[in-house]
Amino acid sequence: MIKKAQKTVFEFIKAFSAEHGYAPTLQEIQEKFDFKSISTAHYHVKKLQGAGYLEKVEGKSRSIKAKNVSFGGLLSKVMPEYFSLPVLGSANCGEATIFAVEDPHEFVSIPSTVLSRKSKDGLFVLRADGDSMNQAKVGTAKLSIENGDYVIVDSNENTPSDGDYVLSVIDGCANIKRFKRVDGRFALVPESTNPDHKQFFISNASNYIVNGKIIGVIK
């Protein structure tokens, strides 16, 4: 019988594998769930293998593979739906100097299971430019945003909560930052190894809008 903790580990392995194209290591599973040791991650993986939810791939360093099954032991014959999302230009991970041009000439396909949603309504993609978010932790996989990465934006989420990663438009230019409360005020905060990047405080007078919440990163 699969316990709740193993179901959570299985769903993480499926999501990680769909997003990266390969399975997480035991160490990555340990870090994701803050297990005290790798042996705990190994225990849950062995339980899932014994129950038929994971299989071992011989000769590979990342040797586990999530089977296409649903809990209850029934095979799922439905292939995941893929969303074709438009790439609407670039956005800065630094100073707001690049415009996002809403004239898509490029599209990316993403499994709906990765985004945990049934509709692509309001979703689009931007290419990240700069290094001000290279220590971000976006989504369930806790991915950073490096120069050249693609970020997935939900334009329906334009009223951010404290801690959300957002696409904002400052003086007409696209910008990627984390929306956080700092000293009682809201700010757009970088998360970077580069100390030159500074936070930007938001006031009612700011020429600023939120265009959406960043819900994923494509490396």
How much is the pLDDT for 204?
64
Q: Domain residues of the chain, as ranges?
A: 4-66, 82-218
pLDDT by residue for the chain (219 residues), tens digit each?
567 788 888 888 888 877 777 778 888 888 888 888 888 888 888 888 877 777 765 545 555 767 654 444 433 334 457 788 888 888 888 777 776 667 677 888 887 777 777 788 999 999 999 999 999 999 878 899 999 999 999 999 988 899 999 998 887 788 999 999 888 888 899 999 999 998 888 876 566 788 899 999 988
Max Cα-Cα span within the chain: 60
CA distance 128 to 122: 19
Pick the CATH number of 82-218 from 2.10.109.10, 2.40.30.10, 3.40.50.2300, 3.40.50.720: 2.10.109.10
How much is the pLDDT for 74?
31
How much is the pLDDT for 16?
81
**Burial class of 102 by CB neighbour count within 10 A (0 to 12, 13 to 18, 19+):** exposed
Of 109, 110, 107, 88, nearest in space to 98 by CA: 88
H or E segment and range at residue 6: helix 4-20
Angle (nearest 5°) at CA 79 between 55 and 215: 90
How much is the pLDDT for 58?
52
Check if 4-66 and 82-218 are the same fold. no
> Beta strand pairing status for 123-129 and 82-92?
parallel
- For 37, the token pair is 């040791």
Whether 70 contacts 108, CB under 8 Å: no
> What architecture does CATH give domain 4-66?
Orthogonal Bundle (1.10)
Could you give the 3-state DSSP secondary structure of residue 14? helix
Output the 3-class SS for 22-87: CCCCHHHHHHHHCCCCHHHHHHHHHHHHHCCCEEECCCCCCCEEECCECCCCCECCCCCCEEEEEE
How much is the pLDDT for 206?
63
